[in-house]
Amino acid sequence: MIQYFQQKDGKLSIVSQVEGCDWIHLSSPLDATEIKKLSDSLEIPTDFITDSLDIDERSRYEREDDANFILLNTPIANSGKKEYEALFITIPIGIILKEGLTITVTQKENPVITRFMEQKVKGFNPKNQELFVIQMFQYNVFEFLNALKQLNLRRNLMEEELYNSSRNEELKQLLRIEKSLVYFVNSLSSNDLLMMKMKRTDFLKIRDNEEFMDLFEDAIIDNSQALEMSNVYTNILSGTMEAYASIVSNNLNTFIHRLTIVTIILMVPTLVASFYGMNLGHLPLSQHPYSFYFLIAISLIIGFLLIWFFRRDQKIDN
């Protein structure tokens, strides 16, 4: 899918051809023939497009001929319905900068690009490529922070459910949240290294522009904060899972201990009854008219003695 945008009189409008446009957005589906045709017509390397469509690509930047390429990772809600999949995943956004033209490439629709398309970014002008890239980084971090808030809220809800029940559903949800946080930590770390390297090498050539440098440094700081939040939430979730596993193990040990005591107490009457079920003629009280009641009484007495013994032993341990 190819979309052409032109900025005119402060408004972004969609045009039908590449001539005169300021921003081109490419998204799946794109076959190999379309990619080769676009690469030749726009005079950009094919790898810039294919790498942006590869979900496993890491953040980086490249220079080739008269085209600059930036790739950063952004979060999106996972559309997969399988219960073991992460709630959020990260996908690349490719930004290709040519003189007078900006090209963005994504595999799927994402909130960052949609925000620019719907003109919800203050001061957005695709003709100003440096500001466009900086704003892309800023709003990408905002999407990470928003997704982190959603994951943290969901984690709190799942923990409350776990306190009241021990169902597997809540544990599965926590595992999905943990997978999402792993994706976030990796992507934010990669984005952080990318922005720090871009600042050090002055990739955008904004070192002499104080306003743009301040905005870019703010984006770097926000990204670092998002990375720290991701690490904190990951540690909290790991601690929660370990604590819950310990609680389940402790409850299981307590249950087995009680079940063992009950088994021992019930074993004595069963043992007495099994002896008197052998049809032997010389068993004590076997000929007595009230032998059945005597045996029941003896079994109860032994059972109560065992209960007293175990309760006393438990009090001593406490």
Q: What CATH number should be reported for the domain holding residue 83?
A: 3.30.460.20
- Give the pLDDT band of residue 11 (cuts 50, 70, 90): confident
Q: 7-16, 40-49, 309-318: which has the highest mean pLDDT?
A: 40-49
H or E element, residue 118: none
Q: Domain holding 293: CATH number?
A: 1.20.58.340
Residues 162 and 288 in one domain: no
Which structural domain, as residue segments, surrounds residue 262? 252-317
Contacts of 181 (CB under 8 A, 6+ apart): 151, 230, 233, 234, 237
Q: What is the DSSP secondary-structure string of 238-291?
A: HHHHHHHHHHHHHHHHHHHHHHHHHHHHHHHHHHHHHHTTS--TTSTTTT-TTH
Residues 162 and 295 in one domain: no
Residues 124 and 185 in one domain: yes
Residues 128 and 187 in one domain: yes
Give me the pLDDT at residue 109, please. 85
pLDDT average, residue stretch 21-39: 86
**Whole-number Cα distances in Å, 103 to 38, 126, 197, 293:** 11, 10, 22, 94
Contacts of 71 (CB under 8 A, 6+ apart): 51, 52, 57, 58, 59, 60, 61, 92, 93, 94, 95, 194
Q: Quick check: 33 and 50 in contact, CB under 8 A?
A: no
| Domain limit, last residue, from 226, 249, 272 | 249
More confident residue, 30 or 234: 234
Residues 243 and 270 in one domain: no
| Domain limit, last residue, from 249, 271, 292 | 249
Residues 204 and 313 in one domain: no
What is the per-residue pLDDT across 161-198, written as a single tens digit (0 to 9) for each? 777 666 677 778 888 898 999 999 999 999 999 999 99
Which two three-digit tokens encode residue 113? 């690009």
With a pLDDT cut of 90, the percent of the chain lying above it is 33
Rounded to two decimals, what is the model's pTM? 0.78
